[in-house]
Structure 1
Amino acid sequence: MGKDKTKWYISWFDTKYYHILYKDRGYEEAEEFMRNLTSFLQLKKGSTILDLACGKGRHSVYLHQLGYKVTGVDLSPNSIQEAQKSEKEDLIFQVHDMCLPLTEKFDGVFNLFTSFGYFEDEEDNLRTIKAIKEELEPNGYGVIDFMNVHEVIKNLVPQNTQSIQGIDFHLERYVEDGFIYKDIQFTDEGESFKFQEKVKAISLEQFKTYFEKAGLQIKNLFGDYHLNEFHLETSPRLILIFEHA
């Protein structure tokens, strides 16, 4: 895919407003998840990890602090430019389309915080999983941390307003044609803005189909960042751990 501004995740993720709206994402929770995950996978210090769709690199930075060699990639040039301020030995960032495999191979490939399912073309979801497979070392583990769409849709808040840094973000959420949408409208310094998030409502069964087609096997399922068991009705997350079949 080229840098096509019609793709919502390119234009929206590249704005400062995306980071303002989501500035209060829980860093402590993210760090605990990384500790729990690397411990469960028994990844030794010095192992290589690819943080796929890394944003500004918060997970990458912490994984590096835990002793791993980390590469963070993202389609957003602005996010990568910010992440590169944290670069050091064994911690690098680059702009990359996750549909395409990197030439390097890794002990772990992590796709975190619902950074999947953005594509208009259904085939791109499968292409991404096939790319992850190519990026894994033998006996390496892939991880996709996705929302539990069943629980999200059941508890969807149709409308609300969040006031952050003097900006009133008006949010509207709905489900249409197999996607979960969030419309975002706000005014800043007299200028009106409108953005939209759109994520495919991928169920566990759909993920299983992707993995089967890619020749991968789900090894573990978790429902939250404490790595508790996945429950369809109540779990906030769908965390899939997989390896070569």
Structure 2
Amino acid sequence: MSKSTKQWYASWFDTPYYHILYKDRDYAEAQVFMDNLTNYLNIPEGGKILDLACGKGRHSVYLNTLGYQVTGVDLSEQSIAHAKQFENDTLKFDVHDMSKPYPDRFDAVFNLFTSFGYFEDDNCNLHTIESIKAELNDFGFGVIDFMNVNYVIDNLVTEDVKTVEGIDFHQKRSVKDGYIVKDISFKADGEIYEFQERVKAFTLEDFQLLFKKAGVYLLDVFGDYKLRKYHSKTSERLIMIFK
């Protein structure tokens, strides 16, 4: 029996297998990024941060330990249900569609680790940036941390197998119709599963057009989690600060 999904981000993220496949992500590096970013933005002590597409909330939890009031939102009900165990007076989680404004204002809105560009409808990508603008207070900053598409395409591994917890995840990567696509197939618990991740191949120039349409202003661009200068061919990340 084959399990598949069309609206991949709505169901793949809700499976336990998504979290198994990506369990080895470098969270120490992510925490260094959070340290660097909050210091660079000079977010006030006790300031409010919206973690947009927060997943299971690991980075929201860390930001909260730094002394910020954090709201983590995600479309995945299962991820938010998991994250709610970490809630306290200054940390909360909510199921929310990031293409719609969240009813609060923040000192910073973080969209981290390529959590943008999932929508089939381009208008939803624009609406997400417009929503971030609406979520910022007068002194707030928006941050989108995206893959550097030029670097990813130049270094694309077209096919590999990653074995985690005894599951062989067969991964095939390609560039199709303006998307970077990863097809994932595996057998687990006696069933065959097939999922596809599709992320719009946005370049810096594409984002600049979206920012212009949304009426926000690009302030800075960085190329890695140490906030070093962005180079279009060699930087692994495309980190954009705007307001």
Q: Classify the TM-score, shorter chain.
A: over 0.9
**1:103 is matched with which residue?**
103
Q: When the two structures are aligned, how many residues end up with a matched partner? A: 239
- Report the residue type matching 2:131 in the other structure: A
**1:155 is matched with which residue?**
155
After superposition, give the CA deviation of every residue in 1:75-101 in whole Å (9 maximum; x if it has no partner): 000000111111111100010000000
In structure 1, C-alpha distance between the alignment counterparts of 2:186 and 2:147, rounded to whole Å: 26
In structure 1, C-alpha distance between the alignment counterparts of 2:152 and 2:165, rounded to whole Å: 27
**2:118 is matched with which residue?**
118
After superposition, give the CA deviation of every residue in 1:18-69 in whole Å (9 maximum; x if it has no partner): 0000001111001000000000001122000000000001110000000000
- Report the residue type matching 1:60 in the other structure: S
Root-mean-square deviation (Å): 0.7
- Report the residue type matching 1:15 in the other structure: T
Does the residue aligned with 1:216 lie in a helix, a strand or coil?
A: coil
In structure 1, C-alpha distance between the alignment counterparts of 2:175 and 2:221, rounded to whole Å: 25
Displacement of 1:215 after TM fit?
A: 0.8
In structure 1, C-alpha distance between the alignment counterparts of 2:59 and 2:45, rounded to whole Å: 16
In structure 1, C-alpha distance between the alignment counterparts of 2:190 and 2:59, rounded to whole Å: 35
- Report the residue type matching 1:100 in the other structure: K
Q: What are structure 1's unaligned runs of at least 5 residues?
A: none
Relative to the length of structure 1, the TM-score reads 0.97
**1:238 is matched with which residue?**
238
Displacement of 1:189 after TM fit?
A: 2.3
Relative to the length of structure 2, the TM-score reads 0.97
Residue 183 of structure 2 corresponds to residue 183 of structure 1: yes
In structure 2, C-alpha distance between the alignment counterparts of 1:50 and 1:228, rounded to whole Å: 24
**2:212 is matched with which residue?**
212
**1:129 is matched with which residue?**
129
The structure 1 segments of at least 4 consecutive aligned residues displaced by more than 4 Å after TM superposition are none
Identify which of structures 1 and 2 has the higher relative contact order when contacts are C-alpha pairs closer than 8 Å and 6+ apart: 2
Mapping 1:157-172, distance limit 5 Å: 157-172=157-172
In structure 2, C-alpha distance between the alignment counterparts of 1:211 and 1:139, rounded to whole Å: 18
In structure 2, C-alpha distance between the alignment counterparts of 1:207 and 1:138, rounded to whole Å: 22
Displacement of 1:211 after TM fit?
A: 0.5
